[in-house]
Amino acid sequence: MDSTHNSIFDRLRQGETIAANDPHRGQLVEASYATMKLVQQMNLSADPDEIKDFLGKITNSKIDESTALFPPLYINYGKNTKIGKNVFINFGCTFLDLGGIIIEDNVLLAPGVKLLSEGHPGDPRQRESLVPKPIRLKKNCWISANATILPGVTVGENSIVAAGAVVNKDVPDNTIVGGIPAKVIKKIE
């Protein structure tokens, strides 16, 4: 891939690993600090419309009136997060979205949920590189308190992730998973 014609943000969206010595890596830090300013303002608000307005600025998208967020929310970039209709994001969630996060309609996120769409290589010589892999939460799924969704995971439609679970593999539709690492507990009939 010719990285000279794509911004570092385009390259992340395309799934390219960003090396620690990438000449454009500083742009990621600058963008994160700009996002942090908006996040801090949003997290001080108790007005639902103002919160949605800030979230729209952070994600560079229109947030539907049916979606609700109880701050604080911690998000490092924001522009790679897409949020559907009738989504509820409870207190203290964390989104690392450089790899991309898609939250479809009617998704529930309990307090303390972590959506981590970026990671690092296992090889210690490459560890400071950034590896983006998108997360997708399909319609009607419920991510319970303090669950963590790791890079590259899709949580299926109508599925439930139990409290405290760490999800490192895709969750099929209509399934309950739990544990560390998360395993299928049962199918939803």
Q: What is the pLDDT of residue 68?
A: 98
Which runs of E-coded beta strand occur in 36-182?
A: 68-69, 73-75, 81-83, 88-89, 93-96, 101-103, 108-109, 114-116, 118-119, 131-132, 135-137, 142-143, 148-149, 154-155, 160-161, 166-167, 175-178
CB 137 within 8 A of CB 118: no
Q: Taking the domains of the chain in order of start, what are their residue ranges?
A: 8-187
CB burial of residue 163 (10 Å; 0-12, 13-18, 19+): middle
Q: What is the pLDDT of residue 6?
A: 81
- Asked if CATH classification 2.160.10.10 holds for the domain at 8-187, the reply, yes or no, is yes
Q: Residue 8 corresponds to which amino acid?
A: I
CB 154 within 8 A of CB 138: yes
Query: Going edge to edge, which strands form the sheet with 93-96?
Result: 73-75, 93-96, 114-116, 148-149, 166-167
Give me the catalytic one of 79, 85, 120, 139: 120
Instruction: Determine whether 24 is an active site residue.
Output: no
Dist. CA 120–CA 57, nearest whole Å: 28
Q: What is the mean pLDDT of each run of 10 residues along the chain (189 residues)?
A: 68 93 94 97 97 98 98 97 98 97 98 97 94 98 98 98 98 98 96
